[in-house]
Structure 1
Amino acid sequence: MSQKDRKSRWYFGGLASVGAAIVTHPLDLIKVTMQTQQGKLSVVQLVPSIIREQGVVALYSGISASMLRQMTYSTTRFGAYEVGKSYINTDTFTGKVLLAGFSGFAGGIIGTPADMVNVRMQNDVKLPRDQRRNYKHAFDGLIKVYRQEGFAKLFSGATTATTRGILMTIGQIAFYDETKKHLLATAYFQDNLVTHFTASLVAGAIATTLTQPLDVLKTRSMNAKPGEYKGLWDIVKHVGQLGPLGFFKGYVPAFVRLGPHTILTFVFLEQLRMNFGYTSSS
C-alpha cells in the first residue's frame, strides 16, 4: 500500500497540533503579551525584558493550557473536518470552505475555556507580581475561574473565539487542502515534505491575515478583569483608539508564530497520515 493512499485518523490533527504548540509556544506568548498591552513596546524590547526579569523559562508560561487548548480546539476542528469528508463533497473549494467553517465553529466553542486560561497564564509574565493570577497549570486555572468568577466566565470571548476559529480553520485546513491539490496537479510536486511545507506556508499566511483583528479582540476579552469592558463593542472602541493598525497589533509575531505552527502541524499530520493512517478498505 502506497503512503500517499493513506488517510488521516480523526485524532491525528490534535496530536500534530500539540506537537507544533510545544515548539512555537514562546512565539504565541509574545503575541499575546503584545496584544494585551496598550503601549507600544516592540518585540525587540519585550523579549529581553521578560528574560531579564523572569528567566528563559517564562517564555513557556502557560504551556499546559496551550497543550490543553490544542487537545480540545484542534482535535475538534481537525476531527470534524476528517469525519465530515464522508458527508460533504470536498472535491470543490466551496465544499472545503463550508466543512472547514463548521469544524472551526465547533472547535472554537469547545476550546474557549482552555484558550482563556492559556491567554491569562501567558499574560502573567508582564504583570506585577501582586497582580498575577498565578495558575499552577491549566486545570488549576479552569477550577479557579469557575469558583471565583462563575461558569459563564469560562466562555468569555466565545463569540470572537468561535468566529476566529471559523476563519482560522478555513485559512488553514481549506486553503491547505486546496493549495496542496493544485500543487500535486502540476508536474513539479509530489506528495512529500516539499509540497506539505509549501502548502502549509501559504495556509499560514492566509490564516494570519484573516484572523488577526478577531484574535486581538478575543485576547483582550479573555484577559479582561471583571467589569473592565461593557461588551464586545466596548473592546472594539478601546482598541480603535490606537487606530486601524491597532486591530493588527502583534501581526508580525502572530505570523512568525502561526506560520511555523501551521507548517509544523501539517508536516506532523502528513507524517502521521503516511505512516499510521488507514485506507478505505482497512
Structure 2
Amino acid sequence: MDFLMSGLAACGACLFTNPLEVVKTRMQLQGELQAPGTYQRHYRNVFHAFITIGRVDGLAALQKGLAPALLYQFLMNGIRLGTYGLAEAGGYLHTAEGTLSPVRSAAAGALAGVMGAYLGSPIYMVKTHLQAQAASEIAVGHQYKHQIFPPQSWKVALAAAMVSGIAVVLAMTPFDVVSTRLYNQPTDAQGKGLMYRGLLDALLQTARTEGIFGMYKGLGASYFRLGPHTILSLFFWDQLRMLYYTYTK
C-alpha cells in the first residue's frame, strides 16, 4: 500500500508541474551542440517559453507527454517513497539507541531513488520524445514522430539514476541537460550514428561547444518545478496516508 500511495501522490504533483517539464525539456534541447549566438533562440526564458509554446503549439501542448509522465512518476516515486517508507517502518533507519541515523537515511534514500529512476527509464524516454515534439517554427532537438518504447531505452538508465541521486539543482542541472539529450538523440535500427557515446561524452561535447552556460540550460524551469513538485508530492503522500490509516483502523 505504501507503494500505491507514494505513486498516486507523485502523479497528483505531476499534473501541476508537467508544463514546467515540457518547458525544461525544450530549453535543454535548444541549440544542442551549437555555439552560443549561432542559432535562433525560440525560448529565451521560462516565461517566454510558456507563452511561445501556448501561442504556437496551443495550450494543450503544455501538457505533452502527460500520460508517460504520470506513469513514470507512479513507478519512480512509488518505488522511491514506498521503499524508503518500508525501510522507515522496519526500523532500518534508526540506530540501536533508537535515534534516526543520517547516514542510513541518506543511503536508503539514494538507493531507493536509483532503483526508481532505473526502472522508470524507458518511460522517461518516451516522455522526452513526446515533450520535444513541436511545430516546425519552434522545434528543437530531434523530432520523433512515434509513441513507442525505443530499443535503446535502457542504455541511458545510468544517466537517469545519476540525476535522481543529486539533490541540489545547481549540481543536478548539467546531468539533467545531458540526460535529456541522451534520451532524445536519434539512432538507426543498428544503433549506429548516435550523437553521443555516453554520459561523459555528452558532458564533454556540451561543455566544449556551448560553454559553461550550455550546461545549465533549463535551470529556471528545473528550479521552479522542483520545489512545487516535491512539496505537492509529500503533501499528497501525507494526506493519502492519513486517509488510509484513518479508515483501516
TM-score by length of 2: 0.81
Cα distance in 1 for partners of 2:111, 2:144 equals 34
1:270 aligned to 232, 235, 238, which one? 238
Query: Structure 2 vs 1, CA of residues 229 and 11 (structure 1 numbering), >3 Å: closer, same or farther?
Result: same
1:174-216 deviation per Cα after TM superposition (whole angstroms, max 9, x unaligned): xxxxxxxxxxxxxxxxxxxxxxxxxxxxxxxx4x334222111
Query: Structure 2 vs 1, CA of residues 270 and 57 (structure 1 numbering), >3 Å: closer, same or farther?
Result: same
Query: Structure 2 vs 1, CA of residues 36 and 48 (structure 1 numbering), >3 Å: closer, same or farther?
Result: same
Higher helix share: 1
1:83 aligns with 2:86: yes
- Cα pair 1:14 1:74 within 8 Å, conserved: yes
Cα distance in 2 for partners of 1:83, 1:97 equals 14
Deviates more, 1:256-265 or 1:33-42: 33-42
* Alignment match, 1:233: 200
Cα distance in 1 for partners of 2:159, 2:120 equals 12
* Alignment match, 2:185: 224
Cα distance in 2 for partners of 1:46, 1:238 equals 25
Size of the aligned set, in residue pairs, is 223
Matched position secondary structure for 1:243: helix
2:68 aligned to 65, 70, 91, which one? 65
* Alignment match, 2:36: none
Q: How does 1:169-184 map to 2 (within 5 A)?
A: 171=167
Cα distance in 2 for partners of 1:126, 1:32 equals 15
Query: For residue 11 of structure 1, what is the amino acid of its counterpart?
Result: L
Tell me the C-alpha RMSD between the 2 structures. Answer: 2.3
1:113 aligns with 2:122: yes
Matched position secondary structure for 1:230: coil
Query: Structure 2 vs 1, CA of residues 124 and 36 (structure 1 numbering), >3 Å: closer, same or farther?
Result: same
- Cα pair 2:179 2:199 within 8 Å, conserved: no
Cα distance in 1 for partners of 2:92, 2:198 equals 36
Instruction: Note the C-alpha offset of 1:134.
Output: 3.2
Q: How does 1:235-250 map to 2 (within 5 A)?
A: 235-240=202-207, 241-250=209-218
1:198-254 deviation per Cα after TM superposition (whole angstroms, max 9, x unaligned): xxxxxxxx4x33422211111010011121223223211221032223222211111
* Alignment match, 2:7: 14
1:42 aligns with 2:44: yes
1:97 aligns with 2:97: no
Instruction: Note the C-alpha offset of 1:87.
Output: 5.5
Q: List runs of 5+ in structure 1 lacking aligned partners.
A: 1-7, 172-205
* Alignment match, 1:215: 176
Instruction: Note the C-alpha offset of 1:45.
Output: 3.4
Cα distance in 1 for partners of 2:87, 2:62 equals 37
Matched position secondary structure for 1:108: helix
- Cα pair 1:21 1:66 within 8 Å, conserved: yes
Query: Structure 2 vs 1, CA of residues 111 and 242 (structure 1 numbering), >3 Å: closer, same or farther?
Result: same
1:150-169 deviation per Cα after TM superposition (whole angstroms, max 9, x unaligned): 3xx121321110111222xx
Query: For residue 177 of structure 2, what is the amino acid of its counterpart?
Result: V
- Cα pair 1:157 1:221 within 8 Å, conserved: yes
Instruction: Note the C-alpha offset of 1:278.
Output: 7.1
* Alignment match, 1:134: 145
Deviates more, 1:14-23 or 1:234-243: 234-243
Q: List runs of 5+ in structure 2 lacking aligned partners.
A: 32-38, 95-99, 188-193
Matched position secondary structure for 1:125: coil
Matched position secondary structure for 2:120: helix
